[in-house]
């Protein structure tokens, strides 16, 4: 692992690191904010999974999360959204290929050799973080935006006991019924739609739910709301009688202005679960 940068930030440290990933067969970069408390021992960890076209840097610099994480004594990790570099497959469209990994393990060429984002986020990167930083890996929570909200919800529901809480900002919650999902799942996972179900938050909520609190915010002026399908997830939550807070925020869109507005509440929501 190589340190790219480390900057003092709200009494702690905002770092950027790169490492050779076995899962993705390329170098991967991530950001990690460590609050001041990490100097004295392991602290809880909150994951932020970013959306389409983003790198590790977007949320790290635009979401305003560090100040609230510092207040709560929580670390923040910002993984990249896909493998990158020469020899890594991509596409001219913004919503497929590099910057659009969708947090799945691709089974189809040309994506299969590198696009193993599920294994990277759920296995390889957690192991690396636990070995190299003062993090309490028994106390984790997860959040994300758009494609990253999809990843946060599906990962949380698929790994019972791993995360104490899950939240999302404008998540893609029913990708098997959306153009933001069907296109990518066909490319990465193939034509068999049965293989897609494990990566659909609405279907996972209907099947198994989440063993903890859930918080989701979506803006009523989100320009992509028809692709996000918040009503589908709300119906699944209601049918399952799942503990969840689902909010439509009047006037807000899909941008980081929306995310930064509600970040304080999301961090506090996770802090309640992480310190319970």
Look up the CATH number of the domain holding residue 172. Answer: 3.40.50.1820
0.95 surpassed by pTM: yes
Task: Determine, yes or no, domain membership for 8.
Answer: no
Answer yes or no: are the C-beta atoms of 154 and 148 closer than 8 Å: no
Place of tokens 């609050």: 35
Between strands 214-219 and 166-169, the pairing is parallel
224, 74, 227: which is closest to 143 by C-alpha?
74
Structural domains in the chain (count): 1
Residue 29 lies in a domain: yes
Any domain includes 2: no
The tens-digit pLDDT sequence of the chain (276 residues) is 999 999 999 999 999 999 999 999 999 999 999 999 999 999 999 999 999 999 999 999 999 999 999 999 999 999 999 999 999 999 999 999 999 999 999 999 999 999 999 999 999 999 999 999 999 999 999 999 999 999 999 999 999 999 999 999 999 999 999 999 999 999 999 999 999 999 999 999 999 999 999 999 999 999 999 999 999 999 999 999 999 999 999 999 999 999 999 999 999 999 999 999
Q: Which helix (H) or strand (E) holds 138?
A: strand 135-144
Of 269, 273, 253, nearest to 261 by C-alpha is 253
Catalytic residues: 146, 222, 254
Instruction: Tell me which DSSP letter residue 230 carries.
Output: H
Euclidean distance between CA atoms 129 and 133, whole angstroms? 6
Range of the domain at 219: 15-274
* Look-up of token digits 């925020």: 249
Distance between CA 237 and CA 227 in Å, rounded?
19
Could you give the residue ranges of the DSSP H alpha helices within the chain? Answer: 57-62, 65-72, 117-119, 125-132, 147-158, 179-189, 201-207, 225-228, 230-240, 256-274
Q: Is residue 5 part of a domain?
A: no
Distant-in-sequence, close-in-space partners of 69: CB < 8 Å, separation ≥ 6: 10, 33, 35, 46, 75, 76, 267
> CA 120 to CA 262: how far, in whole Å?
28
Radius of gyration of the chain (CA): 17
* Rounded CA separation 170/76 (Å): 19
């Amino acid at each position: 692992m190589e340190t790219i940068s480390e900057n003092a930030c709200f009494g702690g440290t905002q770092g950027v690191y790169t490492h050779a990933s076995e899962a993705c067969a390329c170098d991967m970069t991530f950001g990690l904010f460590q609050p001041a408390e990490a100097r004295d021992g392991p602290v809880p960890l909150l994951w932020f999974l970013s959306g389409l076209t983003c790198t590790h840097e977007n949320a790290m610099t635009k979401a305003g999360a560090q100040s609230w994480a510092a207040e709560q004594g929580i670390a923040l990790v910002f993984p990249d959204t896909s493998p990158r570099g020469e020899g890594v497959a991509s596409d001219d469209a913004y919503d497929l290929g590099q910057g659009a990994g969708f947090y799945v393990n691709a089974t189809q060429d040309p994506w299969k050799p590198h696009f193993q984002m599920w294994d990277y986020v759920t296995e390889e990167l957690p192991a690396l973080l636990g070995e190299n930083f003062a993090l309490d890996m028994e106390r984790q929570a997860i959040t994300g935006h758009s494609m990253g909200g999809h990843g946060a919800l599906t990962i949380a529901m698929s790994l019972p006991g791993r995360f104490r809480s899950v939240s999302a900002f404008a998540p893609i919650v029913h990708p098997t019924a959306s153009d933001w999902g069907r296109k990518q799942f066909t490319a990465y996972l193939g034509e068999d739609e049965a293989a897609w179900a494990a990566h659909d938050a609405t279907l996972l909520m209907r099947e198994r739910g989440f063993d903890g609190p859930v918080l989701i915010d979506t803006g009523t002026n989100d320009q992509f709301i028809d692709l996000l399908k918040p009503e589908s997830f709300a119906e699944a939550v209601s049918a399952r009688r799942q503990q969840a807070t689902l909010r439509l925020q009047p006037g807000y869109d899909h941008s980081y202005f929306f995310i930064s507005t509600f970040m304080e509440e999301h961090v506090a929501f996770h802090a309640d679960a992480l310190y319970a």
